[in-house]
Amino acid sequence: MDSLKLSSFKLECCLFLVLIGVASAQLSPNFYSSSCPNALSTIQSAVQAAVNNESRMGASLLRLHFHDCFVNGCDGSVLLDDTANFTGEKTAIPNNGSLRGFDVIDNIKSQVENICAGVVSCADILAVAARDSVVALGGQNWTVQLGRRDSTTANRSLANANLPAPTLNLDQLISLFSNLGFTTQELVALSGAHTIGQARCTTFRSRIYNETNINSTFATSLQGNCPSNGGDNNISPLDTTTPTSFDNAYFTNLLNLKGLLHSDQELFSSNGTGSTNSTVSNYSSNSTAFFNDFSNAMLKMGNMSVLTGTNGEIRTNCRSVNSASLSSIDTKIIDLITSLFDI
Ligand code: HEM
Ligand SMILES: *[C@@H]1O[C@H](CO)[C@@H](O)[C@H](O)[C@H]1NC(C)=O
Ligand SMILES: *[C@@H]1O[C@H](CO)[C@@H](O)[C@H](O)[C@H]1NC(C)=O
Ligand SMILES: *[C@@H]1O[C@H](CO)[C@@H](O)[C@H](O)[C@H]1NC(C)=O
Ligand SMILES: *[C@@H]1O[C@H](CO)[C@@H](O)[C@H](O)[C@H]1NC(C)=O
Ligand SMILES: *[C@@H]1O[C@H](CO)[C@@H](O)[C@H](O)[C@H]1NC(C)=O
Ligand SMILES: *[C@@H]1O[C@H](CO)[C@@H](O)[C@H](O)[C@H]1NC(C)=O
Ligand SMILES: *[C@@H]1O[C@H](CO)[C@@H](O)[C@H](O)[C@H]1NC(C)=O
Ligand SMILES: *[C@@H]1O[C@H](CO)[C@@H](O)[C@H](O)[C@H]1NC(C)=O
Ligand SMILES: *[C@@H]1O[C@H](CO)[C@@H](O)[C@H](O)[C@H]1NC(C)=O
Ligand SMILES: *[C@@H]1O[C@H](CO)[C@@H](O)[C@H](O)[C@H]1NC(C)=O
Ligand SMILES: *[C@@H]1O[C@H](CO)[C@@H](O)[C@H](O)[C@H]1NC(C)=O
Ligand SMILES: *[C@@H]1O[C@H](CO)[C@@H](O)[C@H](O)[C@H]1NC(C)=O
């Protein structure tokens, strides 16, 4: 090869690598349109079936995506079981005994593996399943960004640190979300996820027995299923008005002092600064404002520290990292070649 051809080859090669970099650094809505065109419809049907069987599953799948993203980004880490190398996030305090939907994700993953093996990440399945759950329960649709890859590790102590506890006050909620890049308005919009799903007695007991900014009829009615001692795992809806409908009733409940969790009522409370009152009132009277802000905040949440390009891997089984049958350089080369087809 003469030197001119060689340098031209080097240039093309270099441009090529730059293109790959650009194409893989960011998520895109059509990431699977050629590599797995039926991925999204397969996920949607499976989510619809799971929600038809048990409407709460929509809430559980939405929460899984949230608990994935807030801990080291949306990388499927929440799905990993414990190994000799790390303790998974499933037994972190906010997750242990309350996070659910793992079997549904396993089922979706195996259906997607059957149509396109090794292509669709567990992290992307969580993002799509969260959106499809919201839509299945009457919420507004949004276009999910795709191309996340899966982590090869998990971090329980980070899950304990980054996931908000129901005991937090408004200023603590604002600062936790702010540390992860969210505005106070986005905190309020995302909290609207509590328009669906259930919480265990242990997470709201002190509120219904001890707090004063709660409707007393509401508090008394909850005490029936949440005794002051025992019954820790008895559940009540986060939105008593319309528990299986993704609407803005959560915010109206807050105006009526009928938030279930302490952290919910903090968004509209005489304690703290009251700085989120007007956003709660707005969302309560304008569901379009809530839906738009929620969709945008979900897109932002789904974008948190994603692994792209040749970082991470596409897990075969969402519960465990792939076994190292190929050397890591071989898998990097395969990933590089695979990524060429996604441009
Ligand atoms: C703002 C701070 C938040 C706090 C303090 C909080 C806390 C909680 C707690 C304590 C529960 C009940 C868990 C149990 O029973 O042990 C819960 C449930 C739930 N959370 Fe949150 N959460 C917050 C934000 C969010 C966000 C941002 C989302 C999603 C975007 C979300 C989605 C859900 C859903 C859907 C459920 C019901 C899950 C089910 O029924 O399986 N939460 N949350
Ligand atoms: C349907 O939901 C119930 C809980 O309500 C669960 O026990 C069962 O496994 C679910 N069935 C399917 C096929 O998902
Ligand atoms: C633990 O990590 C080592 C080194 O990365 C790896 O070879 C081994 O397979 C891992 N063990 C498990 C159980 O994942
Ligand atoms: C998780 O919950 C189980 C069952 O309630 C309990 O036995 C276990 O000790 C908990 N694990 C942690 C790490 O708290
Ligand atoms: C939601 O929007 C996406 C396009 O972004 C579409 O593929 C999907 O089918 C929509 N879901 C529903 C239930 O309409
Ligand atoms: C896990 O998260 C903690 C923060 O809670 C951090 O100090 C630690 O370095 C992380 N561990 C790993 C292995 O990344
Ligand atoms: C209510 O507050 C009192 C005093 O702080 C405390 O002793 C009690 O355990 C609390 N009750 C509940 C159900 O949390
Ligand atoms: C306000 O906060 C204080 C201290 O946290 C608490 O004792 C009081 O009950 C709260 N008042 C209301 C109305 O929530
Ligand atoms: C508390 O809720 C009950 C039942 O929903 C309602 O009838 C009552 O007016 C509410 N009380 C206050 C003070 O708003
Ligand atoms: C927010 O609403 C609560 C409950 O109605 C009220 O006590 C508080 O004064 C309001 N704060 C502001 C700043 O408007
Ligand atoms: C409701 O919110 C939407 C979206 O922000 C806005 O365009 C509309 O004007 C609001 N409607 C009212 C009645 O304020
Ligand atoms: C309500 O929220 C929407 C969306 O964030 C915003 O455009 C609008 O200005 C808000 N309206 C009021 C009255 O705060
Ligand atoms: C997602 O992250 C990329 C790269 O950091 C950024 O360009 C894009 O604007 C982000 N999108 C959202 C919705 O936050």
- The residue extents of the domains of the chain are 28-162+313-341, 170-299
Cα 269 to middle of ligand 10, angstroms: 6
Taking the C-alpha atoms of residue 58 and residue 130, their distance in angstroms, rounded to an integer, is 7
CATH 1.10.520.10 fits 28-162+313-341, yes or no: yes
**From residue 323, how far is each of 175, 176, 315 by CA, in Å?**
39, 35, 9
- Where would I find the beta strands (DSSP E) of the chain? 198-200, 235-237
Given CATH 1.10.420.10, say whether it is the number of domain 170-299.
Answer: yes
- Degrees, nearest 5: CA angle 167-232-99: 70
Question: Which whole-number Å values give the CA distances from 223 to 195, 197, 217, in the listed order?
Answer: 21, 19, 10
Q: Is 63 in the pocket of ligand 1 (CB under 6 A)?
A: yes
pTM: 0.91
Query: 12-64 pLDDT, tens per residue?
Result: 443 444 344 444 568 999 999 999 999 999 999 999 999 999 999 999 999 99
Question: 54 CB under 6 A from ligand 2?
Answer: yes
Burial of 254-288, coded b for 16+ CB within 10 Å and e otherwise, reads beebbbbbbbbbbbbbeebeeebbebbebbbeebe
Cα of 115 from ligand 4 centre, angstroms? 37
State the Cα–Cα distance between residues 151 and 76, nearest whole angstrom: 6
- Helical pair 102-115 and 122-136, crossing angle rounded to 10 deg: 110
Chain segment 231-262, per-residue pLDDT in tens: 999 999 999 999 999 999 999 999 999 999 99
Measured from the Cα of 162, ligand 6's closest atom is 5
Any atom of ligand 11 within 6 Å of the Cβ of 271? no
Give the model's pLDDT for residue 331: 54
Report the first-to-last Cα separation within the chain, whole angstroms: 29
Q: What is the predicted pLDDT for the residue at 6?
A: 39
Q: How far apart are CA 209 and CA 214, in angstroms?
A: 10
Atom in ligand 10 nearest the alpha carbon of residue 213:
4
Ligand nearest to the CA of 26: 13
Ligand nearest to the CA of 273: 10
Query: What is the chain's mean pLDDT, rounded?
Result: 91
Which of these, 149, 153, 152, 151, lies nearest to 32 by C-alpha position? Answer: 149
Distance, CA of 39 to CA of 115 (rounded, Å): 8
pLDDT of residue 19: 43
CB atoms within 10 A of CB 304: 18
Distance CA 293, CA 162 (A): 22
pLDDT at 279: 97
CA 251 to chain centre: 21
CA of 165 to the centre of ligand 6 (A): 19
SS3 21: helix
Counting from 1 in the atom list of ligand 4, the atom nearest the Cα of 156 is 13
Q: What is the residue whose two structure tokens read 């520290």? A: 305
Question: What angle separates helix 56-69 from helix 102-115, to the nearest 10 degrees?
Answer: 80
Provide, rounded to the nearest whole percent, the portion of the chain with pLDDT above 70.
Answer: 86
Of 17, 99, 9, give the one whose Cα is nearest residue 310. Answer: 17
61-85 average pLDDT score: 98
- Three-state DSSP class for residue 235: strand
62 CB less than 6 Å from ligand 1?
Answer: yes
Q: How far is CA 29 from CA 76, 142, 187, in A?
A: 18, 10, 25
Q: Is 191 in the pocket of ligand 1 (CB under 6 A)?
A: yes
Q: Just list the catalytic residues.
A: 67
- φ and ψ at 150, to 5 degrees? -95, 145
Ligand 11 contact via 286 beta carbon (within 6 Å): yes
Lowest mean pLDDT of 140-154, 175-189, 265-279, name the range. 265-279
